[in-house]
Amino acid sequence: MIRLLFTLVAGLLLGALVHLVSVLALPRIASLDAYSRLTPITAVNSVTQLPAAEPGSTLMPYMDPAFAVAACRYDLSKGSIKLTVPVSQAYTSVSFYTRSDVAYYAINDRSAGRKVIELDLMTEAQHAEVPEDEEVTAADRLIIDSPTTTGLIVLKALAPEPGLMTQAQASLAAATCKLQTTPVAAR
């Protein structure tokens, strides 16, 4: 009886261990992650509108048809990125992901408190090289430190009614995600 109980407990522990390892390893070994799906249709350091979500055919998982969506595939190896996103009439959000789909920052129009979400994206090493200016506060300039040199920025604008989708798409079309030509002057 003890041998049977020991075998059952060992089997359950082995099954739990295999399940845990496979769940944790799957995101790293998956070949069709969001970055890979967007690579053929997006340019590096440029905002690209994504096709509207339709039943059965979405480019990325969990896309809501009430949102206009755009993406910027970024590469910080040549310098920092300046992201500018005009807010839409209803709601605008910006989410940052590493190359391996780990979310590390998000901001929306309400927390930005302005008509335009404007920020600088850079690596920690690039941020350390930025000279400090005592007159510029964190409220004046938002600097985001990326944990990796490549990743995705996903922009979303809500269209509360189907007739307002063109306005939401227009606000995302005006967004820019470009390499900084001049160094960031202050922190």
Looking at residue 150, its amino acid is: T
Q: Which amino acid is at 68?
A: A
- What DSSP designation does 164 have? G
pLDDT above 90 for 126: no
In contact, 74 and 121? CB cutoff 8 Å: yes
d(C-alpha 125, C-alpha 118), whole Å: 21
pTM for the model stands at: 0.79
Tell me what the pLDDT averaged over the chain comes to: 85
Residue for token pair 């690039």: 126
Q: What is the CATH number of domain 34-179?
A: 2.60.40
- For 32, 61, 135, 171, the CA distances from 73, given in Å and listed in that order, are 15, 17, 33, 18
Tell me the per-residue pLDDT of 25-82, one tens digit each, with 9 for 90 and over. Answer: 776 676 677 778 888 888 899 999 998 877 777 777 778 888 999 999 999 999 999 9
Kindly state the average pLDDT of the residues 69-98: 92
Whole-number percent of the chain with pLDDT over 90:
44
